[in-house]
Amino acid sequence: MWSLAWPWALLALPLPLLLRKLLPEARGLSEAGLRVPNLKGFETLKDRSDAEQLLNWRVLVAVLAWCLLVLAAARPERIGDELEVPVAGRNLMLAVDLSGSMDQKDFELAGRRVDRLTATKAVASDFIARREGDRIGLILFGERAYLQVPLTLDRDTVRILLLEAEIGLAGEKTAIGDAITLAVRRVHEQKEDAGEQVLVLLTDGANTAGEVQPLKAAELAQQVGLRVYTIGIGAESLDVSSLIGGRRNINPSADLDEETLTQIAQLTGGRYFRATDTTSLQDIYALLDELEPVEEPESGFRPVKSYYYWPLGAAFALVGLLGLAGLLQRVVLRHRVEVRAHAG
């Protein structure tokens, strides 16, 4: 759809006519005649009809150039179809535990028993796919914490690198405090890019490694406005084979430090969740979608492209043509005068 950004500029179209009507005419010479040594130069008066035709042509070109200038001043523009533009939401860091205990097969996925990390990958990857508009980063931690993916809008890359993570890649122990500290540093560096700063930390144990204690790291997170949601993963009971025969029931999550995870969440304004199976883990990530909703895209945006430079360029071209025509006219008349002067 075509439109004019400043349609009121078209009111200037009759301005030359108004000036011609309102301004007084230029006064002519007061003398009745002009003394000249001879009348040879006045022989060009017979070409008056040609001059009048040229004058009419120049007037038409001048009128067209003025109309184009006024049109350029009105700024013609083309308005495109309505688009939905996603709004940048928040800085969302995911911290996933890769310690040796994540190898415990106490979860089920698609009817088969899988380890905790495999279930986490399946559920968290779906969660990442839904976070359109958020900048997402990925931290993998075990004995040390590593930034696997910096904050980015490329959700596919985050999902791929999460799915490629392997148990023990970062060591066998668990450095929860270092993982939080690393997230604090990364979101603090890009804090101006988003209003909300969120960390979702998933672990199945207690802090057994690292240089920073979890609660100290939580205090740092609180200072920079990083809200931490903690997820304790692991079944509460599991039947295993006994060494003396038969089966016995154990608690595979005995090492999970729920108290510390709860304190971390409360201190930073987040929440602690307990995932004992795949269904509860899916519910937790669905609840996180509600607690940290994805920003709705802005609707009603239409791309606008201005084309004022086309009529403006055409007007300049016509003005240049008028100047060139005037110059050629003077050259031709001068040449005729000289020819007739030599002929006489």
Neighbours of 99 (CB within 10 A): 26
Helix orientation angle between 278-291 and 116-130, rounded to the nearest 10 degrees = 30
Residue 239: the pLDDT is 65
Residue 292: the pLDDT is 85
Whether the model clears a pTM of 0.85, i.e. scores above it, the answer is no
**Cα separation of 28 and 21, whole Å?**
18
Residue 85: the pLDDT is 55
Q: Which long-range contacts (CB under 8 A, 24 or more apart) does 234-237 make?
A: 234/101, 234/104, 234/106, 234/116, 234/204, 234/275, 234/276, 235/106, 235/107, 235/276, 235/277, 236/276
Residues of the chain with pLDDT under 50: 29-34, 36, 39-46
Residue 39: the pLDDT is 47
Neighbours of 200 (CB within 10 A): 24
Residue 305: the pLDDT is 85
Cα dihedral 49, 51, 52, 57 sign: positive
Classified as helix, coil or strand, 80 is: coil
Residue 282: the pLDDT is 94
Residue 93: the pLDDT is 93
Which H or E run contains 255?
none
Residue 326: the pLDDT is 75
Residue 259: the pLDDT is 95
Residue 35: the pLDDT is 53
